[in-house]
Amino acid sequence: MRVLRVLICRVGAMGDVLHALPAVAALRAARPEWTIDWVVDERWTPLLVDEVGAGPVVDRVYAVPVQAWKRRPLSVATLRSLLGFRRLRGRYDVVVDMQGTLRSAAIGWLAGGGALVGHADPREPPAAWLYGRKIPRTGAHVVAQGVALLGAAVGVELTPAPAQLPRILTAEHWAEATLPRRPLCVLTPGAGWGAKQWPAERYGALATELRSMGFAVLVSAARADDPAAAAVVAASSTAASAAAAQLRVCDLAQLVALLRRADLAVGGDTGPMHLAAALAVPVVALFGPTDPARNGPWGPGARRVLRSAASPTSYKHSATPDAGLAQLTVETVLAAVREIAAGV
């Protein structure tokens, strides 16, 4: 049997990378002798490799400075960085664009030429112009779609495998030294756009109830001035007591270590919630305009997905709060928490 060299192009965002991992983990399990490398936004490398570049799924990561590219898309530095992928021509037998954007397709085309494979109906239609092979999309959930695409691209029948994430020792030591020992709930209130955000005051009220149930409640944030996280902490305070939730600022490696130790996570359709699901943390996921049948949490742990029938499916990046998401009450979320706690 031929040993293939495969390059995955799924640059970001965090949730997209996590949703691609079950397919790539399945290929690693089915063909451990193959070379599997990955092009990813430099921000998400801790999802794939540790501090010395080793990971459980991929052999090598090519980290790209997506944020710098966005700030200066037409600069000489951006063009030089992108064209640098031409040096990979001939190194891979198959290059698979699992992102479906013009950026990821351009990277794949530069790296693989005619070996580039992608969906026949990519997220950004011009990306298909660069594909040497176009695979019809099958499956409802993006994980199933990714598994079908990768399997067809390399000629191996795959079924989704649990995502395996590396352990970064400095982050693991940080978590051991700083996290509460009692049952821990992590709230992830941020979102890619406003329509996906549950109101901060409800997260605050939820934190108060969770605290009374015996949970230590942490609100994850990438920076200290994160407005969504700060609003939740403030909303969890009352005139008679201190905040029920504590802000916990951490980088991605620390977030992975934090969630490994969590007993529960509550959040919307956002990267940290998908990370918790991938790590088998029990999850209560709060969905509004995006469809959980396509983008819902994926992982081996218990999960409850809450979505009002009043939420129309839309992926438009609207800042206006989704009316259906606003109909999800604190009591509804608490009921889902209790169901998970009872093992229902």
> Could you give the domains of the chain?
5-154 (3.40.50.2000), 169-342 (3.40.50.2000)
The average pLDDT across 63-76 equals 89
At 12, is the pLDDT very low, low, confident or very high (cuts 50, 70, 90)? Answer: confident
- pLDDT, position 240: 59
The pairing of strands 264-268 and 283-287 is parallel
State the residue for tokens 């099958």: 138
For residue 38, give the 3-state DSSP assignment: strand
pLDDT tens digits for range 26-39:
999 999 999 999 99
Res. 1 pLDDT band, cuts 50 70 90: low
> Whole-angstrom Cα distance, residue 135 to residue 116?
11
pLDDT tens column, 266-283 = 999 999 999 999 999 999
Q: Rounded distance, CA 146 to CA 20, Å?
A: 6
pLDDT (mean) for 107-126: 94
Dist CA 178 CA 329 (whole Å): 32
Residue that has been written with the tokens 């009374």 in this structure:
212
Q: Nearest-CA neighbor of 306 among 317, 280, 316, 322? A: 322
Residue pLDDT, tens place only, 187-197: 999 888 889 99
**CA–CA distance, 282 with 62 (Å, rounded to integer):** 32
pLDDT value for 123? 95
